[in-house]
Structure 1
Amino acid sequence: MRTLTQGFLFFGYLFLAMTVGTFIWRAGLGLGAGAAGAIGALGLLAAVHTFLSARADKAALRKEIAQVREAHRLLADAMESTQGALTELAEAIEAGALSSTEALTGEVRMLETLVQQMGDSIEHRLSKPDPVNPYEARHLAQSNTLLQTIHDALAENRVDLYLQPVVSLPQRRTVFYESFTRLRAADDRIMMPAEYLSVAEDEGLVASIDNLLLFRCAQIVRRLARQDRKVGVFCNIALSSLADETFFRQFLDFLSENRDLNQALIFELGQAAFDARGAVEARNMAKLADLGFRFSIDKTQTLDLDFADLQRSDVKFLKVSADLLIEQLLDLDGGPSVPSLRDIHPSDFAALTRRYGIEVIAEKVEAERQIVDVLELDIGLGQGHLFGEPRAIKEDVLAETDPPANFLRSSLRTAERRRFG
């Protein structure tokens, strides 16, 4: 288009120059004077064009520089706002902490159940006969040591809560947080999930870790609500927690007494776990929905989803990695690669989910270049290290959400006495 415009201008200038030359020639000044006049007029027009083009280019350059500076300023403001929001969140939790003498009857019952489950798992593991194979014996000893470390971390409340912001796009204003747990060993070393997850899964302790996270999230959101803080927290819930009738009954009682948190506490399941839910899990999800609580799906593996089923299950949020969104909605030919979505324009995908009451969140956003494609898809929420890494809530604040001192250890001893008489 720019080349075509330049061509039209050139022929326009040439026409004007020839007009000037013809006028001079017809005025009786001769053919040579007419030719000189035409050349002079063409040169003058070229000079004016060059001057105006240079000014326009400089103005455009100044505008682009101003836009880049504004973008950098917005990015710096967004990062500062995110960090400030997390700091304010921690301070609000600390300022609104309940006194240590407040009644914790419901929480105590829940935690006693969790500790008993952990104690039973440890006893079952240690009661197994020793293997004959030296390699298996060494591996079992290492697993038992790690298992004991996990158990001690849970029993002694060395479970840290981390929060990561979920922001609105393109403003990048924090509107939600996602919660994560990290265990600490006796020497305060942070244990990442990859270190202990396989052993914890084998021994059924993942549910206990998730349940403690549920309990802690509910307490923290409750404290924020008492400070009139309008903030939502995504909290993972294990499928085993939904199937555990003993735990779930106590947890449901706890939430029934705190149903005012239903807009602030959002329960999150992976797509595979959601698809694998049975009748018991679906029924217990419905009980939570009856109290007004909402659900989110993460670890999405494909966009070929049954949105009507998600709607029936009160799923209100769908977390999809930015790369998967781009891969399945913006392929090389400009259309969705998912067969069931090929009849819609990529930018209409978010509108489609909204018709089912589901808001898409682009997660694992790590680079600015991903934002351009995400915004093209009309995605209104984002999460990832670009907007802020998970940050730990202050340790002294977490301590205020714990049960009375030594409660977990005494409960474990009680569970052992009941088991062995």
Structure 2
Amino acid sequence: MRRLTLALLCATYLCLSLIVSLTLWRNGGGWGAGVAALVGGLGLCFAFHGLIERALETGAIRSDVEAVREAHAILLSQVEALDARVSEIFDTVADDAQRSEALVDEVHMLEDLVDRMRRRLDDQGDEPAFPVRLGGDPGQTPALLETVREALAENRVDLFLQPIVGLPQRKTQFYESFSRLRDESGRVLMPAEYLSVAEPGGLVTAIDNLLLFRCVQIVRRLARQDRKIGIFCNVSMASLADESFFPQFLELLTVNKDLAGALIFEIGQQAFDARGSVEARNMGKLADLGFRFSLDKLVDLDIDLQDLSRSDVKFIKVGAQLLLEELTERDGRLVLRSLPDLAAEDFTTLTRRYGVSVIAEKVESERQVVDILELNIDLGQGHLFGEPRAIKEAVLSEAGPPPPVLRPQFPRRAAYG
């Protein structure tokens, strides 16, 4: 194609030169002027053609150079992206290694805790592990305690989660965790049933510890899914005051202090009000790690918000029915019986000044939701928004190794006589 184009151009130049030379010859210039014009025209045409061709070649070279530069820039960006990805993979591998090491340390801590509990129970000898004043049928108490012991020993402890939603959108903001024990037949034991013997039997710390361990596993799994959702984890004052349990508990949380923003420890209002100096000091140690607290089982809304703020209590849970029963009208405005000088809708405004958020719990009906929203409460929990659901063991196994098998030793049954 290029040769044909060159031939056509040469023919064009020749024709132009012939026209010029013939014009000069016919106008009296003679043969000499015609030949000179022919030769000169051809020379000028070919010189002009050379200039044009060099200009085109220069433009083509520049285009090629620009294309090479663009390709180099694309290649450089791909190399940088690949380098960033490789660095991310190395960081992930390093983090996984650290997590695995931390999990091994946690298991050792838990095993040590169980050994301590076993030694303490062995030291009890033939003394009763709990007082007879618990009420109910004393003959059934040893059997129930044995059921609790076997459930812990065989790791028949399930984790249940119930959503806490933001209102009015009802999007899940938190979960509350519950522990449930299962007997040999698979029947689920409710807390009201097993705590009556677990508390005096010294097993609440073991249950709290298992619950905490599984909450840590779930928080890690949610973090891997990039779901920034916190979990409320119940902890008893007995665990906070236990000289054998709490140091291990604190060490475990120190290893996992990166989860401080996702774990909220929940305590009953009466237990919180009755806390001693040891419990308060240990709560402060957890707060120093960044962990927060929540009060539930509220029976009185006339609470000391300054005390809550000093103790890093960031949430209070108030039963929806209690809230509605507290409402009363005075001087033409709606107030709370416990706080008659404060408009009902200003209660949450007051708590927020102290950094405390109100959660309406045990919400069962849409009518309650309407009343709650009128009180400017933006968090709710209850069967209306979702019942507690068991977390499958497979999910926990994906989040980390299973907790160690608890095998506390108890006094002989004869001791309960």
TM-score by length of 2: 0.67
CA contact (8 A) 2:109 2:252 kept: no
Q: Which has the larger radius of gyration?
A: 2
Q: Which residue of 1 aligns with 2:179?
A: 181
| Structure 1, 201-210 or 239-248: larger mean CA deviation | 201-210
Equivalent position SS for 1:175: strand
- Output the CA distance in 2 between the equivalents of 1:141 and 1:123: 24
- Is 1:372 matched with 2:370? yes
Q: 1:216 aligns with which of 214, 217, 224?
A: 214
- Output the CA distance in 1 between the equivalents of 2:177 and 2:296: 13
- Output the CA distance in 2 between the equivalents of 1:404 and 1:343: 52
| Residue identity in the other structure for 1:357 | G
Give runs of ≥4 in structure 1 deviating > 6 Å: 98-102
Q: Which residue of 2 aligns with 1:311?
A: 309
- Is 1:108 matched with 2:105? no
- Output the CA distance in 1 between the equivalents of 2:352 and 2:179: 31
Q: Which residue of 1 aligns with 2:285?
A: 287
CA contact (8 A) 1:162 1:393 kept: yes
Equivalent position SS for 1:348: helix
Q: Could you say if the C-alpha distance between residues 401 and 222 of structure 1 is closer, same or farther in structure 2, counting changes exceeding 3 Å?
A: closer
| Residue identity in the other structure for 1:155 | A
Percent identical among aligned pairs is 58
Q: Which residue of 2 aligns with 1:9?
A: none
Report 1:196-211 matches (<5 A): 196-211=194-209
CA contact (8 A) 2:317 2:360 kept: yes
Shift of 1:210: 2.0
CA contact (8 A) 1:179 1:234 kept: yes
| Residue identity in the other structure for 2:108 | V
| Residue identity in the other structure for 2:167 | L
Q: 1:408 aligns with which of 388, 405, 410?
A: 405
* Alignment deviations for residues 218-245 of structure 1 (CA, whole Å, 9 cap, x no partner): 2321332244320100001110111113
Shift of 1:394: 0.9
- Output the CA distance in 2 between the equivalents of 1:246 and 1:177: 29
CA contact (8 A) 2:294 2:315 kept: yes
CA contact (8 A) 1:122 1:148 kept: no
Structure 2 unpaired stretches of 5+: 1-95, 412-417
Shift of 1:262: 0.8
Q: Which residue of 2 aligns with 1:242?
A: 240
CA contact (8 A) 2:205 2:245 kept: no
Q: Which residue of 1 aligns with 2:396?
A: 398
- Output the CA distance in 1 between the equivalents of 2:99 and 2:253: 20
Shift of 1:315: 0.7
- Output the CA distance in 1 between the equivalents of 2:100 and 2:184: 24
| Residue identity in the other structure for 1:322 | A
- Output the CA distance in 1 between the equivalents of 2:329 and 2:152: 46
- Output the CA distance in 2 between the equivalents of 1:120 and 1:222: 32
Q: Which residue of 1 aligns with 2:337?
A: 338
Equivalent position SS for 1:104: helix
- Output the CA distance in 1 between the equivalents of 2:145 and 2:260: 35
The alignment yields a C-alpha RMSD, in angstroms, of 3.2
* Alignment deviations for residues 238-294 of structure 1 (CA, whole Å, 9 cap, x no partner): 101111132221221221121111110001100011101111111111111111111
Q: Could you say if the C-alpha distance between residues 125 and 252 of structure 1 is closer, same or farther in structure 2, counting changes exceeding 3 Å?
A: same
| Residue identity in the other structure for 1:184 | R
In the alignment of these two chains, the number of paired residues is 311
Shift of 1:408: 2.6
Q: Which residue of 2 aligns with 1:88?
A: none
CA contact (8 A) 1:112 1:408 kept: no
Shift of 1:194: 2.7
Report 1:259-274 matches (<5 A): 259-274=257-272
Shift of 1:301: 0.6
- Output the CA distance in 1 between the equivalents of 2:373 and 2:122: 49
Shift of 1:395: 2.5
| Residue identity in the other structure for 1:117 | M
| Residue identity in the other structure for 1:104 | V
| Residue identity in the other structure for 2:405 | L
Shift of 1:145: 1.7
* Alignment deviations for residues 51-87 of structure 1 (CA, whole Å, 9 cap, x no partner): xxxxxxxxxxxxxxxxxxxxxxxxxxxxxxxxxxxxx
Q: Could you say if the C-alpha distance between residues 139 and 400 of structure 1 is closer, same or farther in structure 2, counting changes exceeding 3 Å?
A: farther
| Residue identity in the other structure for 1:359 | S
- Output the CA distance in 2 between the equivalents of 1:404 and 1:363: 31
